[in-house]
Amino acid sequence: MRRASWWRRRLLTVLVCPLTVAPVAVASPAHADSTAARAGHELRYAALGDSIASGLGAGNYEASSGRCSRSANAHPALWAAEHHVAEFRFAACSGAKTSDVASTQMADLDSGVRMVSVTAGANDVGFADALNVCTTQGEQACLQRVGQARNDIDRTLPGRLDALDTTVREKAPQARVVVFGYPHLFSAEACSGQPVSPRGQAALNDAADRLNTVTRNSAQAHGFVFADVTHAFTGHELCSDDPWIISPSLFTLDSAYHPNAEGQREGYLPALEAEAGSGS
């Protein structure tokens, strides 16, 4: 009992990895090239957002990125490398809220940028904290905290996403903008091998769906493209035979509940490829 209690306290203390689930904006044909398929040697690409965009959990981090945990295995970096873009501005940072994206990640956005990807919103509604509570404090506390996050998704997030998407368009008026959603962390069937109860798992998946809906609505209202990765991650959630999500443990305190390298490569990258064009 003492060991289990210590594990829970330790996990609650350290496992506050903001799961950044922010929108990746894709510009409408009226504002951007019909494909991000300007030749790679001409394309300027900026990747903005939270830990999903930076690649926390995928390893191979840039030494200079510090707590932002920008990974060479993150889907924006993989896409930029494959298409040999003229300039890649990798500004995404673990823990970023929509206000952080707007205030600290857009310095290099201008009319010359032709593609922008964004993932943001999860940190604004305390999704990471909800995961921590669900992992360490039991079902009742979990459901209550997820309910609070759901209220924030419905009441405060739409305005914050609208402000972010408006700023992206103002800063990069010619860009094609791709906004990403978040995957389900748990399979539809109850996952008995996780510290989160089955009801908690269902509540978290439901909150992710609502987060994606609000993100999609804002992106489309601004003429951006929304990239939904829920289907891609189906069959690769926690407790699946081939998980693309990192399970919580004392060895994954900084990266739990984030996509691993395979999730970035096989889940997020194809979605970016589909919405951004070939880049050549």
Q: Which amino acids are annotated catalytic? A: 51, 258
Work out the number of other CB atoms within 10 angstroms of the CB of residue 156. Answer: 12
What distance lies between CA 142 and its chain's CA centroid? Answer: 21
Q: Where are the beta strands (DSSP E) in the chain?
A: 44-49, 87-90, 115-119, 176-180, 225-227
Maximum Cα–Cα distance for the chain, whole Å?
A: 61
Q: Strand, helix or coil at 23?
A: coil
Residue 7, phi then psi, degrees to nearest 5: -60, -45
Angle at 40 between CA 39 and CA 41, to 5 degrees: 95
Q: Degrees (nearest 5) of the Cα angle 13, 17, 19?
A: 140
Q: What are phi and psi of 225, to 5 degrees?
A: -100, 135
> What is the Cα–Cα distance from 49 to 98, expressed in whole angstroms?
8
